[in-house]
Chain A
Amino acid sequence: MTSIQEFSVSRTTITSRICQSVLLICVFWMLFIASGDNKASQGKIIDLCVFIVLASMWNLLTGFSGLISIGQQAFVGLGAYSLIVLANGAGINIYLAVIPSAIIVAVISIPLGLVAFRLRGGYFAIGTWVIAEVVRLIVKNNQSSVIGAGTGTSLEVPESLKSGRYQVTTFIAISVVVVSVVFVYLFLRSRFGLALQSVRDNETGARSLGVDSYRVRFVVYIVASFFTSLAAATYYIKGLSVQPDAAFNIGSWTAPIIVMVVIGGIGTIEGPIIGAVLYYLVRDFVSKHEFFSDPTFLILTGVVALIFALFVKGGIWGLLLRKFPKLTVFPVKRRVHIENFEFDQRGN
């Protein structure tokens, strides 16, 4: 008989501390590049940061909440156009307009969510897509000079802000990615995160324990819309020109996002980051070789997504975890230490 007297609960492990330190070094390295003059590298960092945020948010929806969305382009486009309306229309400083435009999109996402949440599972997925199409068509048919209808418009950068735009945008992109990832991490460790994952794993069970599954999922839907449009607004401070067909394009936004998350590992915090970095490295490599035309690359991404979804469900992070079970960067699980024993939540 062992009496459990001395025990402690911990979440961080030595590996997680080491990995987090490495990530922190990466952030400082990106900040170093941001303060330099190399626009090409800065542009790449902005794109990478934006897609890490988009992938993390899709993963929060699909991997952690069971809300399969293929309509994230709705929030990318809305983020872009809110920025246009605030900056070009209301004359707000382009950098200061980023957060307000994301807040506007979060508010718009409430009625959109009320419609989407009428559907379940796979039909929810197509529903989100239809909603994105509706938003695209409404923007496209809007003849006001600020929106610019089908031909789109460009973000106007005042003379005073023209120099150093890439530097400032890179700083914003790095802040957005750090805040998003830390937010997802803390969110999933909270009571709310536990409720969320219980709903995903067994909705009936979670509800019987008093979890309001509808509300929990709805909050996640709004949060994901907020961060998705935050990243989109950041992207368009760099890109400047906005067209409805490009900003609301499923192929240039949601498709790569899904591929990144599936390759990295769906339902983990680390997966989308790994997937996004890998996707960018591969695309960078591929763009230098003639053999890979655009369709060829897209055929390959499609096939890779298919193969991972069928055979490598845990993604690359899942494969790594199988080899090194203790590996963790963002520990969400709790570990109980009792004298000489150690248990984690699953009783291993």
Chain B
Amino acid sequence: MNWLNAIIQGVLVGGLYAMYATGLSVSFGVMRLVNLAHGDLAVGSAFIASTFCLATGLSPFLAIFVVLPLSALVGIGLQVAVFNRVVGVDPSYQIVATFGLSIAIQNVLLQQYAANPRALNIGDFGNRSLKLVGDDVVIGLFPLSRFVVAVLVLVLLSLFIGRTRIGRAFRATSDDPDIARLMGVNIRVIYAVAFAIAVTTVALAGIFNGMQTQFSAADGPALLIYAFESVIIGGLGSLWGTLCGGIILGIAQTIGAEIDPGWKQLIGHLVFLIVLLVRPMGIFGKDELR
């Protein structure tokens, strides 16, 4: 059993989880929207990237530049067609609507791509690694760069929310949509931008996930749960908390897998439940959940 290695791998996976969670955090923060189709959007993007690569023979890294603008458009489309109608209404309709969307996306993917798992082939880059502490700790070059990108995305996003005009409108809308509207904020535009960000980040996470492991049509719900756990462990409303939550979840899972492969998810869930019982506002959260 190699604990140091498990922890380092957990941290690297945690970056990916944080990237899944960012969109969930943003859409909840700005719109009070819980999107159950979040994980399915990630899987869908990975499938689109894989189709693109098979059709053109290009690298999955180039597919990112095609899929991300596409997913921003999908996000805006979904916001206009679906989510604007459930923002601010009874949350049960939100849950039912996004749950219906999730079932629909999953089964469209199942019908299009069958139940066979797929992967995005990044060639030799996926196998390169740095060896530390003799041969005990091996850091894959790809997981490391993925982690760096995740942190970079979070830095950019927090600069965007903290320093720009639209970011200020984001925070205002989050605090009180009615007052924000009185102050001249076009809420529909804010919601559309927020959702575009949510879908783009989760699409990137989905593609990154597909570059390392296989994915299949039914994976969405598990990804949603990881994202959700990262958000809650870290604390609502804190992007850095989300990163921390993702890392804690990642470490819990790799340590669980180290003890017994069947325990990987279970230990992750249990850590989440313990945090929920001991500190329901999350590690970095300030308020109780509303």
- A-side interface residues toward B, CB under 8 Å? 62-63, 66, 68, 70, 114-115, 118-123, 125-127, 129-131, 133-134, 137-138, 140-141, 250-251, 255, 258-259, 262, 266, 293, 295-296, 298-299, 301-310, 313
Main secondary structure of the interface of B (DSSP, over half): helix
Residues of A within 8 A of B106 (CB): 298, 302
Cβ-defined contact, B276 with A121, below 8 A: no
Bound-state CA distance A125–B97 (Å) is 13
- Are B232 and A123 within 8 A (Cβ)? yes
Q: Are A309's CB and B86's CB within 8 A?
A: yes
Per the bound structure, the CA–CA distance linking A296 and B272 in Å amounts to: 35
- Interface residue? B262 (CB, 8 A): yes
- Chain A residues with CB under 8 Å of B91's CB are 66, 68, 121-122
Q: What 0/1 pattern do residues 261 to 281 of B give for CB contact below 8 A with A? A: 011011001101100110010
Further 18 A-B residue pairs, CB within 8 A, beyond A141-B260, A302-B103: A66-B91, A66-B92, A119-B232, A123-B232, A126-B34, A126-B36, A130-B269, A251-B103, A295-B108, A298-B103, A299-B104, A299-B111, A301-B100, A305-B99, A306-B82, A309-B96, A310-B86, A313-B93
- List residues of chain A with CB within 8 A of the CB of B179: none
| B228 and chain A: residue at smallest CB distance | A126
Q: Within 8 Å CB of A250, what residues of B?
A: 221
Using known A-B contacts A126-B36, A295-B110, determine if residue A305 contacts B103 with beta carbons closer than 8 Å: yes
Is B107's CB under 8 angstroms from A299's CB? yes
B31 shortest CB reach to chain A, Å: 11
| Contact across chains for A70 and B280 when beta carbons are under 8 A apart | no
User: Which secondary structure dominates where chain A touches chain B?
Assistant: helix
The answer for the CA separation of A70 and B36 in the assembled complex, in Å, is: 10
Q: 8 Å CB contacts to A: which residues of B132-164?
A: none
Residue of A nearest to B281 (CB): A118
Counting from the closest, the 9 A-B pairs by CB-CB distance are A122-B34, A305-B100, A302-B104, A302-B103, A306-B100, A309-B97, A309-B96, A295-B107, A295-B111
Determine the residue in chain A with the shortest Cβ distance to B103.
A302
Give the docked Cα–Cα distance between A293 and B276 (Å). Answer: 41
Contact (Cβ within 8 A) A305 B277: no
Which of B92, B97, B105, B221 makes the CB contact (< 8 A) with A63?
B92
Contact B95 A68 (CB under 8 A): yes
Taking a contact as CB atoms closer than 8 A, the residue among B36, B228, B269, B289 that contacts A137 in the complex is B269
Q: Given that A126-B228, A306-B97 are known contacts, is A115 also in contact with B102, CB under 8 Å in the complex?
A: no
Give the A-B contact count at a CB cut-off of 8 A: 139
Distance between A171 CB and nearest chain B CB, rounded to angstroms: 34
Contact residues of B with A, CB < 8 Å?
Answer: 28, 32-34, 36, 82, 85-86, 90-97, 99-108, 110-111, 221, 224-225, 228-229, 232, 260, 262-263, 265-266, 269-270, 272-273, 276-277, 280, 289-290
Given A121-B34, A122-B91, A125-B95, A306:B225 Cβ within 8 A: no
A309 to B94, CA, bound (A): 8
A70 close to B103 (CB less than 8 A): no
Tell me if B107 and A298 are in contact (CB < 8 A).
Answer: yes
Chain B residues within an 8 Å CB radius of A123: 28, 34, 228, 232, 289
State which of B90, B103, B277 has its C-beta within 8 Å of the C-beta of A301. B103
Task: Report A255 CB to chain B, min CB distance, Å.
Answer: 6
Among B91, B105, B110, the one with the most A-chain Cβ atoms within 10 Å of its Cβ is: B91
Q: State A301–B276 Cα separation when bound (angstroms).
A: 33
Q: Which residues of the other chain, A, contact B95 by a CB distance below 8 angstroms?
A: 68, 70, 122, 125
What's the nearest-Cβ distance from chain B to residue A150, in Å? 8
Q: Is the CB of A306 within 8 A of B92?
A: no
Can you list 8 pairs linking A and B with CB atoms under 8 Å apart?
Answer: A122-B33, A122-B91, A123-B232, A130-B229, A141-B263, A258-B96, A302-B101, A305-B96
Contact of B276 with A299 in the complex, beta carbons under 8 Å: no
Chain A residues within 8 Å of B260, by CB:
141
Q: Which residues of B contact A114 (CB under 8 A)?
A: 277
Residues on the B chain within 8 Å of A130, using CB: 225, 228-229, 269, 272-273
Closest chain B residue to A311, Cβ basis: B85
Residue of A nearest to B225 (CB): A130
Which residues from chain A contact B108 at a C-beta distance below 8 Å? 295, 299
How far in angstroms is the closest Cβ of chain A from B85? 5
User: Which residues does chain B contribute within 8 Å of A303, judged by CB atoms?
Assistant: 100, 104
- A70 CA to B225 CA in the complex, in Å? 12
Report chain A residues within 8 Å CB of B262: 137, 140-141
Residues of B within 8 A of A126 (CB): 34, 36, 224-225, 228
B187 to chain A, nearest CB (A): 18
Contact A258 B99, CB 8 Å, known A138-B266, A299-B104, A299-B108: yes
The reply to whether A310 and B97 form a contact with Cβ atoms under 8 Å apart is yes
Given A121-B91, A122-B94, the answer on whether A115 and B103 have CB atoms closer than 8 Å is: no
Contact among A127, A133, A258 for B265, CB-based, below 8 A: A133
- Determine how close the nearest CB of chain B comes to the CB of A141; give it in whole angstroms: 5
Bound-state CA distance A219–B95 (Å) is 23
Instruction: Across the interface, name the chain B residue whose C-beta is closest to A129.
Output: B225
Q: How far, in Å, is B32 (CB) from chain A's closest CB?
A: 8
Tell me whether A119 and B100 are in contact in the complex, defined as CB-CB below 8 angstroms, given that A134-B266, A310-B82 are known contacts.
Answer: no
